[in-house]
Amino acid sequence: MKHLKWSAATIALIGWGGMASATETLTMWYHGAGNEVESKIIHQIIDDFNASQKDWKVELQSFPQAAYNDSVTAGALAGNLPDILDVDGPNMPNWAWAGYMQPLTIDESKITGFLPGTKGMYNGKLYSIGLWDAAISLVTRKSILADLKLRTPTLDKPWSGDEFEAALKAAKASGKYKFALDLGTAWTGEWYPYAFSPFLQSFGGDIIDRTSYATAEKALNGDGAMAWGKWWQHLFKDGYAQAKQDGADRDNGFNTGEYAFSWNGNWAALGALKAYNDVVFLPAPDFGKGSKIGAASWQFGVSAKSAHPDGASKFIGFAIQDKYLAQFSNGIGLIPATTSAAAMVDNYKDGGPLSVFFAYSNKEGMVRPVTPGYVVESKVFEKAAGDIANGAEVGATLDAAVDEINADIKKNNGYAPH
Amino acid sequence: MAQTTPDNRGLRLVVRYTVLTLIAAIFSFPLIFMIMSSFKPAEQLLADAHTIRALLPIGDISLNNYFDAFKRAPVGLFVFNSVLVTSVTVVLSLALCSAAAFAFTFVQWKGRDLALTVILATLIVPFETIAIPLLLEASKLPWIGASGITYGWINSYRVQIVPFIADGLTIYLFVQYFKDLPGELIEAARVEGASWFAIYRRIVMPLSGPVLATAAILKFLAMYNQYLWPIMVTQEEQYRPVMVGLQYFFQLNRAWGEIMAYLSLITVPVLAFYLYLQKAFIASIASTGVKG
């Protein structure tokens, strides 16, 4: 009997030990350090996930956004990437190509209703999924449109290039504004390709030839791109916008009446609504090839070196529930990834003050070039756009940009898979 | 030869002090702007930015930005980390680099000049060029701790300290200063039978106050302002220094008031350290001709 008791106790201990060790820890990196609201929500999701099952325990490490990409690159070099990481949409192909990420194994039926920009597809595989998207609009006021006798454009009938030109001209001629248009040139980095390359695409150009991703020839220096470049330069040359803008003007200029129109994202929309009671968020002008805005924001993915991709994917599958999408949207003002989640958010539900952004994201949103080379191409585009804004000769600048992009593609062997 | 009359002297003084006051004002504008802005809400700060109001404590003044900064980020932890990493590095660097400079200046040994040349040549190598090899090395280095031998120094204080203890600039500063010390003192001590270490400790270092202050301030500033290396090696928040912490405040909608409050807070240790060593620092610049 005594032996039996000992055996039972031993089995129980082994069983308990086995059960205890069955919970595997998943590490996660996130870019939201310093954002109190975002941190609270991501911790809530993790706590809910950890409490919902016993197989996995997610541990979070948050990074400030501005330092995040460098930290991930350093982590990859040092060989200590986490299991789960988040990635800015346009960077995902580069991270997948560089071997930082592996495809997700979540049930794709869960993401059928997601906004197109939230799905991180590369080489036909899903690598990342976003809980939200962001969108840009042309912000103005009903009173300004009325004062300048301008038609209110809609998603179905946006302003043509000529109408946009007439609007800028009327705003300038009114003499009421420091500048007609706030483009946000004070913001550098990814803002340039995110905000301004859709204009290029609407003109019929692009940063790279998306049919092959092998060259920028004709895409960035063809007829469409040349037309964009000339239009872009005239905005500054003719005094409609500032090539060099003060940060304070960008942050506060539209809300204090310095500009008639502001090209800005939905994250700034609540500030504008607070400043005026007649703010309207207009769709992007159509310069011939449709009305376009940038798509894809931060998304979750699984690191290539994760020993537990099943657990990591399970967490991501858990995080993309509507209630969390809605929480993020309520908390940080971004666009929830699904219609059903949007319906749970006052700002984005039908008739909500920001509901147009969901529609813009769905209809006008265009992801940036899905290629590992984008991380270089975006910087080349930023430089070219900046140079043209500051008076550089359009054709020569675009030709030089094409050469630089093509040289990078060649140097990286066409970004062929490793 | 024209004589300086009392009136001339007075005029000269007025002109001199006017120019000096203008220069002082120009240099102190950013600091005053930062401190004043740290007490203002973001909207007012931006509205005041282009006017003289930006330099005055007027309008909606409060400590809210400071409270909010502490809510947004563990400011105390970041300051502690930076002060710890910086202080330890400065102390170790002064000890090691002064000893190295002593050996380069007073001790005759084979290959001395070549070794010094190589060390000085490192001054022209930017840190960015060695950051990645250093990271690869640091990620594999062994360490003996409470849990035995572990590999990889990432996420630790030592990875932020050890690579920066010895550097060419600090050694160069000490070498230049030591060269001006009277050689007779060293020779006399040798004749009396003093060891090299005794000479270093009892004769050379007590005479090196100004260069110690200069080297300490330059090292302190370089370490306190570290950004690239910490973001590569501090994946855990508990080890992050102030400059990485600054990025916590750059969100989509930037909290400029909090940024100014945070900057004001993290400037305090630098100013305190500089003021503490100011006299010796100026004396050293005057004696060595080192600028900036």
What pLDDT, on a 0 to 100 scale, did the predictor assign at position A322?
Answer: 96
Residue B289 has pLDDT above 60, yes or no: no
Query: Rounded to whole angstroms, how far apart are CA atoms B257 and B33?
Result: 11
Given A35, A64, A75, which is nearest B235 (Cβ)? A75
What pLDDT, on a 0 to 100 scale, did the predictor assign at position B9?
Answer: 85
In B, which residues are within 8 Å of A62 by CB distance?
Answer: 237
Residue A6 pLDDT level (bands cut at 50, 70, 90): low
Q: Does A252 touch chain B (CB under 8 A)?
A: yes
What pLDDT, on a 0 to 100 scale, did the predictor assign at position A363?
Answer: 94
Mean pLDDT, rounded, for A394-400: 98
Residues 85-144 of A with CB under 8 A from B: none
pLDDT tens digit sequence for A269-291: 988 999 999 999 999 999 999 99
**What 3-state class would DSSP assign to A139?**
strand
Cα first-last separation, chain B: 38
Mean pLDDT, rounded, for A70-88: 94
Q: Which residue of B has its CA nearest to A33?
A: B248
The answer to whether the Cβ–Cβ distance between A252 and B43 falls below 8 Å is yes
pLDDT tens digit sequence for B145-177: 888 999 999 999 999 999 999 999 999 999 999
Query: Rounded to whole angstroms, how far apart are CA atoms A131 and A143?
Result: 35
Supply angle C-alpha B222, B227, B230, rounded to 5. Answer: 110
Given B235, B247, B256, which is nearest A64 (Cβ)? B247
- Chain B interface disruption, residue of A62, A71, A190, most B CBs within 10 A: A71
Q: Which domains, from first to last, does chain B contain?
A: 1-72 (no CATH), 73-288 (1.10.3720.10)
- Tell me the two tokens of residue B287: 């004696």
Residue A297 and residue A210 in contact, taking contact as beta carbons nearer than 8 Å = no
Residue A191 has pLDDT above 60, yes or no: yes
Q: Give buried/exposed letters for A103-142 (b at 16+ CB in 10 A, else e).
A: bbebeeeebeebbbbbbbbbeeebbbbbbbbbbbbbbbbe
* C-alpha torsion A311→A314→A316→A322, nearest 10: -160
DSSP string, A342-392: HTTSTTTSTT-TTHHHHHHHHHHEEEPP-STTHHHHHHHHHHHHHHHHTT-
**What 3-state class would DSSP assign to A44?**
helix
In A, which residues are within 8 Å of B244 by CB distance?
Answer: 64, 67
Residue A107 has pLDDT above 90, yes or no: no
What is the residue whose two structure tokens read 């003719």? A238
What pLDDT, on a 0 to 100 scale, did the predictor assign at position B275?
Answer: 87
What pLDDT, on a 0 to 100 scale, did the predictor assign at position B21?
Answer: 95
**What 3-state class would DSSP assign to A120?**
strand
DSSP string, A228-268: HHHHHHHHHHTTSS-SS--HHHHHHTGGGTSEEEEEEEGGG
Query: Rounded to whole angstroms, how far apart are CA atoms B61 and B234?
Result: 36
Mean pLDDT, rounded, for A296-313: 96
Q: Which amino acid is at A377?
A: E
Residue A75 has pLDDT above 90, yes or no: yes
Give the dihedral sign, CA B62/B63/B67/B68: positive
What pLDDT, on a 0 to 100 scale, did the predictor assign at position A209?
Answer: 97
Q: Does A188 touch chain B (CB under 8 A)?
A: no
Average pLDDT, chain B: 91
Residue A165 and residue A148 in contact, taking contact as beta carbons nearer than 8 Å = no
Q: Which residue of B has its CA nearest to A34?
A: B248
Residue A135 has pLDDT above 60, yes or no: yes
Given B154, B247, B251, which is nearest A80 (Cβ)? B154
What pLDDT, on a 0 to 100 scale, did the predictor assign at position B292?
Answer: 38
Q: Which domains, from first to last, does chain A contain?
A: 24-133+297-367 (3.40.190.10), 136-294+373-415 (3.40.190.10)
Residue B5 pLDDT level (bands cut at 50, 70, 90): low
Return the beta strands (E) in B156-275 as ranges. none
Q: Which residue has the higher pLDDT, A32 or B255?
A: A32
Residue A108 pLDDT level (bands cut at 50, 70, 90): confident
Residue A124 has pLDDT above 90, yes or no: yes
Residue A3 has pLDDT above 80, yes or no: no
ipTM of the complex: 0.82
What pLDDT, on a 0 to 100 scale, did the predictor assign at position B43?
Answer: 82
Beta bridge partners of A121: A126
pLDDT tens digit sequence for B70-115: 999 999 999 999 999 999 999 999 999 999 999 999 999 999 999 9
DSSP B83: H
How many beta carbons lie within 10 A of that of residue A54, not counting itself? Answer: 11
What pLDDT, on a 0 to 100 scale, did the predictor assign at position A14?
Answer: 45
Distance (Å) of CA B217 to CA A325, B147, B226, B273: 50, 36, 14, 8
Residue B96 and residue B102 in contact, taking contact as beta carbons nearer than 8 Å = no
DSSP A286: B
The answer to whether the Cβ–Cβ distance between B247 and A67 falls below 8 Å is yes
φ/ψ of residue A138, rounded to 5: -95, 110
What pLDDT, on a 0 to 100 scale, did the predictor assign at position A16?
Answer: 46
Query: Rounded to whole angstroms, how far apart are CA atoms B221 and B281?
Result: 13
- Chain B interface disruption, residue of A69, A77, A258, most B CBs within 10 A: A77
pLDDT tens digit sequence for A219-273: 999 999 999 999 999 999 999 999 999 888 998 899 999 999 999 999 999 889 9
Exposed, middle or buried, A335 (CB in 10 Å: 0-12/13-18/19+)?
buried
Residue A319 and residue A49 in contact, taking contact as beta carbons nearer than 8 Å = yes
Residue A19 has pLDDT above 60, yes or no: no
Residue A346 pLDDT level (bands cut at 50, 70, 90): very high
What pLDDT, on a 0 to 100 scale, did the predictor assign at position A292?
Answer: 97
Residue B250 has pLDDT above 70, yes or no: yes
Return the beta strands (E) in chain B as ranges. 142-145, 148-151
Looking at CA atoms only, how far is residue A176 from chain B in angstroms?
18
Exposed, middle or buried, A16 (CB in 10 Å: 0-12/13-18/19+)?
exposed
Query: Rounded to whole angstroms, how far apart are CA atoms A184 and A258?
Result: 13
